[in-house]
Every structure is written in structure tokens, then in C-alpha cells.
């Protein structure tokens, strides 16, 4: 079975590019195992990859440049050459989030490529495109329906995303949740005991009178935009710390922000928001992080604060990473996030409600919520389960 993967891998690093990279690596590894085994039950999926990277970094995502148009033509030429050279007849494509420039780019790309491929698989990493198209001019809706409509398979990340995909009338929809490799396989012997010890210390500190020297480390890690919840996170932590100071508690929340900025204006707003004396020693910006630096931030944090209402948010990988790290999570009832967490999870709040996010932070201090989320991650979001489910969905189309 042959599959042309038209999608980019890091850099820039974000949830979509990371998951495409995991898919390519996982399918290649499974193909090697199948080829080495005479008892393999099905032919492996062979992938040919066009690394369709249009952005140099997170700040450049969605921007309009002449070089991007030239790159599009080059990537399409590469895809057609691979189709003719290797007989690849199935095209795997990741549609853009609901923004005009990326959507028009997708329309052009698929208009050029679909005549060369017998089957089209759309993997919807971003949410909201179907609903967004309903609000656009008729000409854009018609072009999008022509280019993206009637795909042989639309893969969505959660049941709540199925309706959005159905608006483009695919022949079939499959739900495949994300899964990632466990970043902390030694959790039970190393990070887990540290989490329990810190939780006990925080429980006693919240009742203890003092100068506010005991810290709960709160982590916001995402693209630093208003819609991702950055400013709501700042306000929520500020409200909680003012309440603790009023109660003369020895506990304080320490906010750590990591991620790139797309807008210089928002960066200036952030600097102004944390310039007040109340933020002295309670805030730190780490910039964009990856690798060991990112791992360290997760290990040192106690709570992930992610009050997003980003229009294209779907199944944020950062929530999976936080669960794997044994962090308690305060997030929003938004897109698939409630479906990622256990039923009746107490850390979910409505979007744009920093007062409620602050109350959730206070309620999770000292709890064993993070350890329970770690168990939930292991049960539901392993990379092996993700790859097996994704492979079965792709195979059903390639063999159809």
C-alpha cells in the first residue's frame, strides 16, 4: 500500500507537525517489522513524503509571501513526480486552519493534485473549517467544496469534530485520537514521588501564614496569543495570588510562560501586564522551548494552565504532554479538550472566565489530580494505539 504524505514536519514545531512526524516514523517502523516477518497479516503502508513547509517559524505561520507561492508549485511538482515514479495513488493531506490565506493555498494545492491521485485522505488536525466556510463568500465556499469536498476519508481527532468534517461531504469519517510516546517511562520511580512530595508541601503551605515563599509552579506553554489564553492565564494567576496575599498564606502561584509570539503588540501587552510589583519573582518568560528545556519545564511545573479559545484548536498535544508528566490541568470547555480528560474532570472552566480559572487553580493545589491524569494518559493515549488506529483507517481506503 502506497501513500503520498503531503504535510510538513518540524520545524516549526507545533502539534500538527509533531504528529505528522510521529506518523511517518511509526509507519516506517511498522513497515520494517512487517517486512521482516513472514507472518505479517497485511502489507505495510509505504509512505513517500513531501515536506510541504511554508513557514520558517511559528511567527510566520499563515503569512503571505511570494516565496510561499513558488514553494507551493515546487511541492506540487514533487508530489506529481513521486506519483508517476512510484505509482502512489493515495494522497494524505492536512487541511489548514480556518484562515483565508492558508485555505486559498489548500484550494490551489488540491485543485492541482487531485487529478493525479485516485484517493484523497484528509486528516483534520485543526478544527472549525467547515463552520468557518459557511460564513464566507459563495465563491470561496464553492472552490473549497470542489477542492476538499468528497474526500475518500476524513480523519478527525474526536467525535465532537465529526460534524465539521461532514460539512465537506466526505465519503467516510474516522475518529483517530492522538497518542504520543511516553516522555517519562521512569515516572513511577523518579518524577511520581517528587510530585507527591510537592503536593503535600503545598497542602500545608496554603493554610500556613507566611511571606509567600512556597511556590506552586504554573505552566502556560503554547503559541503566545490572546486566543490561546495567555492573558486569561495571567489574570487568573494574578487573582489567585491576590486572594492568597489577603489571607496571609505562605503559598503563591508562580507563572512560567513558554512559546513564541506571532504579534509584537501582544508581546508588548504581556510585558506591560506583568510589570506591576505584584509580579516580582512570580513570573518568567522562557521563549520558545523544545527538547531538554521543554522536558525540564514540565518536570518542574505543578499545574498546566491552558485557558484556550483558539478557533482552530482541536486536540492539543500539550494537554497529552501535561497528563504524561503527571500535572494537574486547568483548561477550558473548548473543542475536544473535555473528551481528552476524564469524565467530570474538575479543572475545566468556560472560555474567557479567568475568575473561574483562578478558582480551579486554588481547588487543585495539593491534590493527586496529576497522578490520576497520568494513569488516564497511559490507558488512552499511547503512541502504539494511535498508530494502529490510524493505520487501520488509512488501510481501509488504500485497499478499497
Kindly tell me if the per-residue pLDDT of 35 is higher than 90.
no
For the chain, give every domain's residue range.
2-179+382-398, 191-380
Overall average pLDDT of the 170-180 stretch: 97
Residue 268, all three cell numbers? 508588548
Which pLDDT score, from 0 to 100, does residue 130 have?
A: 86
Residue 138 in 3-state DSSP? helix
Angle at 100 between CA 94 and CA 106, to 5 degrees: 35
Rounded to whole angstroms, the Cα distance separating 330 from 336 reads: 14
Kindly tell me if the per-residue pLDDT of 208 is higher than 80.
yes
Contact partners, residue 354, CB within 8 Å, separation at least 6: 232, 233, 235, 236, 239, 307
Phi and psi at residue 390, to the nearest 5°: -65, -40
Angle at 288 between CA 283 and CA 291, to 5 degrees: 110
Summarised one tens digit per residue, pLDDT across range 261-316 is: 988 999 999 999 999 999 999 999 999 999 999 999 999 999 999 999 999 999 99
Which pLDDT score, from 0 to 100, does residue 21 have?
A: 97
Question: Is the separation of the CB atoms in 311 and 132 below 8 Å?
Answer: yes
Overall average pLDDT of the 3-31 stretch: 94
Cis peptide before 110 (omega within 30 of 0): no
CATH 3.40.50.300 fits 2-179+382-398, yes or no: no
Cis peptide before 160 (omega within 30 of 0): no
Residue 336, all three cell numbers? 475536544
Summarised one tens digit per residue, pLDDT across range 180-195 is: 999 999 999 999 999 9
Q: Domain 191-380 belongs to what architecture?
A: 3-Layer(aba) Sandwich (3.40)
Distances from the Cα of 383 to the Cαs of 112, 298, 388, in angstroms? Answer: 33, 19, 9
Kindly tell me if the per-residue pLDDT of 38 is higher than 60.
no
Residue 359, all three cell numbers? 478558582
Angle at 375 between CA 371 and CA 124, to 5 degrees: 115
Query: Which range (36-45, 121-130, 217-226, 340-349) has the least confidence?
Result: 36-45
Contact partners, residue 44, CB within 8 Å, separation at least 6: 1, 27, 30, 31, 34, 35
Overall average pLDDT of the 338-347 stretch: 96
Residue 89 C-alpha from the chain's centroid: 29
Rounded to whole angstroms, the Cα distance separating 117 from 131 reads: 27
Terminal Cα-to-Cα distance of the chain (whole angstroms): 11
Question: Is the separation of the CB atoms in 219 and 297 below 8 Å?
Answer: yes
What's the mean pLDDT when you consider all of the chain? 93
Kindly tell me if the per-residue pLDDT of 210 is higher than 90.
yes
Kindly tell me if the per-residue pLDDT of 41 is higher than 90.
no
What percentage of the chain reaches a pLDDT higher than 70? 95
Question: Is the separation of the CB atoms in 120 and 368 below 8 Å?
Answer: no
Question: Is the separation of the CB atoms in 303 and 361 below 8 Å?
Answer: yes
Rounded to whole angstroms, the Cα distance separating 396 from 371 reads: 37
Kindly tell me if the per-residue pLDDT of 2 is higher than 70.
yes
pLDDT band at 37 (very low <50, low <70, confident <90, very high): low
Overall average pLDDT of the 327-351 stretch: 97
Overall average pLDDT of the 353-371 stretch: 97
Burial of 54 (0-12, 13-18, 19+ CB in 10 A): buried
Which pLDDT score, from 0 to 100, does residue 61 have?
A: 53
Kindly tell me if the per-residue pLDDT of 10 is higher than 80.
yes
Amino acid at each position: 500500500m502506497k501513500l503520498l504524505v503531503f504535510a510538513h514536519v518540524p520545524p516549526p514545531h507545533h502539534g500538527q507537525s509533531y504528529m505528522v512526524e510521529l506518523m511517518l516514523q511509526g509507519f516506517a517502523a511498522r513497515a520494517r517489522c512487517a517486512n521482516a516477518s513472514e507472518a505479517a497479516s497485511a502489507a505495510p503502508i509505504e509512505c513517500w513524503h513531501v515536506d510541504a513547509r511554508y513557514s520558517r517559524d511559528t511567527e510566520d505561520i499563515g503569512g503571505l509571501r511570494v516565496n510561499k507561492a513558488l514553494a507551493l508549485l515546487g511541492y506540487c511538482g514533487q508530489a506529481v513526480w513521486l506519483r508517476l515514479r512510484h505509482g502512489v495513488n493515495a494522497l494524505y493531506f492536512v487541511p489548514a486552519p480556518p484562515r483565508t490565506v492558508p485555505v486559498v493555498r489548500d484550494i490551489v494545492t488540491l485543485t492541482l493534485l487531485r487529478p493525479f491521485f485516485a484517493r484523497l485522505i484528509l486528516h483534520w488536525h485543526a478544527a472549525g473549517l467547515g463552520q468557518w466556510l459557511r460564513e464566507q463568500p459563495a465563491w470561496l465556499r464553492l472552490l473549497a467544496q470542489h477542492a476538499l469536498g468528497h474526500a475518500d476519508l476524513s480523519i478527525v481527532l474526536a467525535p465532537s469534530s465529526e460534524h465539521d468534517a461532514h460539512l465537506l461531504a466526505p465519503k467516510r469519517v474516522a475518529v483517530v485520537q492522538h497518542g504520543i510516546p511516553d516522555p517519562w517511562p521512569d515516572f513511577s520511580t523518579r518524577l511520581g514521588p517528587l510530585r507527591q512530595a510537592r503536593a503535600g508541601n503545598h497542602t500545608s503551605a496554603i493554610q500556613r501564614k507566611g511571606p509567600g515563599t512556597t511556590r506552586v509552579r504554573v505552566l502556560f506553554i503554547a503559541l503566545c496569543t490572546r486566543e490561546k489564553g495567555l492573558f486569561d492565564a495571567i489574570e487568573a494567576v494574578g487573582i489567585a495570588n491576590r486572594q492568597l496575599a489577603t489571607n496571609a498564606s505562605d503559598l503563591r502561584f508562580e507563572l512560567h510562560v513558554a512559546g513564541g509570539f506571532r504579534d509584537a503588540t501582544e508581546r508588548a501587552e504581556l510585558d506591560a501586564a506583568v510589570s506591576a510589583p505584584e509580579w516580582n519573582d512570580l513570573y518568567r518568560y522562557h521563549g520558545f522551548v523544545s527538547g531538554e528545556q521543554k522536558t525540564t519545564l514540565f518536570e518542574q511545573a505543578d499545574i498546566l494552565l491552558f485557558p484556550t479559545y483558539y478557533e482552530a484548536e482541536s486536540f492539543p498535544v500539550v494537554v497529552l504532554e501535561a497528563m504524561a508528566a503527571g500535572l494537574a490541568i486547568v483548561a477550558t470547555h473548548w473543542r475536544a479538550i473535555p473528551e481528552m480528560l476524564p469524565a467530570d474532570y474538575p479543572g475545566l472552566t468556560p472560555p474567557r472566565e479567568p475568575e473561574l480559572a483562578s478558582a480551579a487553580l486554588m481547588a487543585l493545589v495539593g491534590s493527586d489530580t496529576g497522578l490520576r491524569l497520568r494513569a488516564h494518559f497511559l490507558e488512552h493515549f499511547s503512541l502504539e494505539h494511535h498508530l494502529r488506529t490510524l493505520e487501520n483507517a488509512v488501510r481501509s481506503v488504500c485497499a478499497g
